Amino acid sequence: MTDGAAPNLAGKGTDSFFKREGWRSFYKSRHLLIILLPGIVYYLIFCYGPMFGIVTAFQKYSPFLGVLKSPFVGLKHFQTFFGGIDFMMLFRNTLRLGVLSLLWGFPLPILFAIILNECRFKMLRKGVQTVSYLPSFISVVIVCSMAIDLLSPRTGLINRIIVALGGEAIYFMTLPQWFSTVYIGTGLWSGLGTGAIVYLAALSNIDPQLFEAAKVDGCGRIKAVWHITLPSILPTISTMLIINCGSIINVGHEKILLLYNPLLYSVSDVFSTYTYRMGIFNANYSLGAAVGLFNSVASLILVVATNSMSRRFSETSLW
């Protein structure tokens, strides 16, 4: 009887010990937790709270009935979306813009950060770095307005140069074949500098003695970049690749809405813009919620798959 009671007492003592230590650590970190509290509240209200609205994707939602009283229709909206004529066009456009954004927008900040890191003139490096940050402070509305003005067939600077060189003005914003170029180009211009910040921080942590030892051994700058710089920031590259792969399907709608027009729907309409148009303009809230849910689930699958591949081949992962 005594032998059986002893482990229980020990277990209770251990539990109380861990509880005391947990509350003690909580009290010691109270200032940090207070700083963290606004961020937690923000995500609870604006990120996790709206997730309750997912149920509208399985309802015939009516604003007058609300979420609790709207009739349940199951997978009807998903069947309508997948069986509709717009699905393949939306999937093709979303995948094309997402892949092109990844192919151009992912390696260029790495290359830009390495070039800045290799620049020997400190003032020039800091000047170029500062100028590269400036477009990120400009609103996406202004960025798109600048692009439209620059590409205007009559008053745009680009077309004036083309005409001055003997060519004919090009209606960039009405020709479907130019939309991807305009979309990717504006994204690179506004995000190149900020995208390089993470890699510049990783480059600053490389031990300078590695480069000195390589220089003594007769290694040139290009070989040093290939054999020292890139392997040193490979974990950062892998992590950013995992994060960026989630945006292949989750292409943002803000810039597309500002750039496209009915003449470009065939190449510019993506899942997010379709969700906006169905949910807001057509008041088909349930179909919009179903498309948005599919978009989010597809992005999650891409992130999980990329994370698993990265963990298997490079031993670097988010979890």
Domain harbouring 191, CATH code: 1.10.3720.10
Is residue 89 domain-shared with residue 210, that is, in the same domain?
A: yes
- pLDDT < 70: residue spans in the chain: 1-20, 22
- Long-range contacts from 229-236, C-beta under 8 angstroms, 24+ separation: 229/114, 229/117, 229/203, 232/202, 232/203, 232/205, 232/206, 233/110, 233/199, 233/202, 233/203, 233/206, 234/314, 234/316, 235/314, 235/316, 236/198, 236/199, 236/202
Instruction: Please tell me the predicted confidence (pLDDT) of residue 167.
Output: 87
Asked whether residue 67 is domain-assigned, the answer is no
The verdict on residue 319 lying in a domain is: no
Do the domain assignments include residue 318? no
If one counts the domains in the chain, the total is 2
pLDDT given for residue 18 in this prediction: 56
* 3-class state of residue 59 by DSSP: strand
Same domain assignment for residues 119 and 180: yes
208 and 135: one domain?
yes
Clarify whether residues 39 and 108 are in a common domain: no
Residue 295, domain extent: 75-313
Q: Are residues 283 and 217 in the same domain?
A: yes
249 and 145 belong to one structural domain = yes
Identify whether residues 32 and 117 lie together within a single domain: no
**Confidence at residue 9, expressed as pLDDT on a 0 to 100 scale:** 47
Q: In this structure, are 32 and 179 located in the same domain?
A: no
Confirm whether 195 is domain-assigned. yes
Question: Does residue 29 lie within any of the structural domains?
Answer: yes
- Residue 263, in any domain of the structure: yes
Same domain membership, residue 168 and residue 42: no
Are residue 155 and residue 289 in the same domain, yes or no? yes
Flag whether 69 is in a domain: no
Query: Tell me, what's the pLDDT at 110?
Result: 93
Residues 216 and 279 in one domain: yes
In a domain, 290, yes or no: yes
Does residue 52 sit in the same domain as residue 126? Answer: no
Q: What pTM does this model have?
A: 0.79
| Residue 41, pLDDT score | 92
Final residue of a structural domain among 58, 86, 105: 58
Tokens, residue 72: 């349940």
- Distance CA(39)–CA(6), nearest Å, equals 45
**Domain boundary pick from 12, 29, 58:** 58
User: How many angstroms separate the CA atoms of 35 and 42, rounded?
Assistant: 13
